[in-house]
Amino acid sequence: MAGVSRSSVAAAVLIAVWLLESAAAVWIDLPEKGTKCVSEEIQPNVVVLADYAIMFEGNAYNHPTMAVKVTSPYGNTLHHKENATVGQFAFTTSEAGNYLACFWIDNEVKGGANVNIDWKIGIAAKDWDSVARKEKIEGVELELRKLEAAVEAIHNNLLYLKAREAEMREVCERTNARVAWFSIMSLGVCIAVSVLQSWHLQGYFRKKKLI
């Protein structure tokens, strides 16, 4: 029993670590002119934490700076910073959809630059060191707490996906119903036009005494 218990705990710890390390680190190339954006589809009530930094090889006195703007799916500005070389933004999502982070160079520098963005979403954004100090837990107990949070996040994500599936199914059903009614109306119009054309041609032929 002890061996089984230890292997189960080890598997649970590995799953928790894998889920916690699923934060996305992204590199993007910024041109001299133009904007580069990254997006992430996130459900409501999720904590988002991101660090960003500009990397540039060249003269330290001619270092590029960038502007950063983060917007919600409805276009609300969540973070806006100019003349930045490093920075961080954090927020809790209030609506589901694609959250957009856009970057562009905002000073006169020849050549582009690279930007490193470290996205952390949900349990990956949680400060587990603070949790461990506050609740005085460590080792396997801490990893099990992480696993519990990961399972809860997965459950919430499944509920969100189920709701999205139901919403999409309802939209498809409404669309199919509209297409069906449109097809029936189109068929009715075609039949009516055919009858009118036949009636008109019969009248024309009678008038010309062709029939």
Tokens of 174: 């409404």
Distances in Å between the Cα of 155 and the Cα atoms of 13, 62, 136, 149, 211 are: 18, 49, 27, 10, 77
Instruction: State both tokens at 128.
Output: 């587990």
Determine if the pTM surpasses 0.75. no
Q: What are the tens digits of pLDDT across the range 105-139?
A: 888 777 778 899 988 887 777 766 676 777 777 77
Q: DSSP 3-state assignment of 77?
A: strand
Q: How confident is the model at residue 19 (pLDDT cuts 50, 70, 90)?
A: very low
**Percent of the chain that is helix, strand, coil (3-state, to 5):** 50, 30, 20
| Chain mean pLDDT for the chain | 80
Distance of CA 211 to the CA centre of its chain: 70
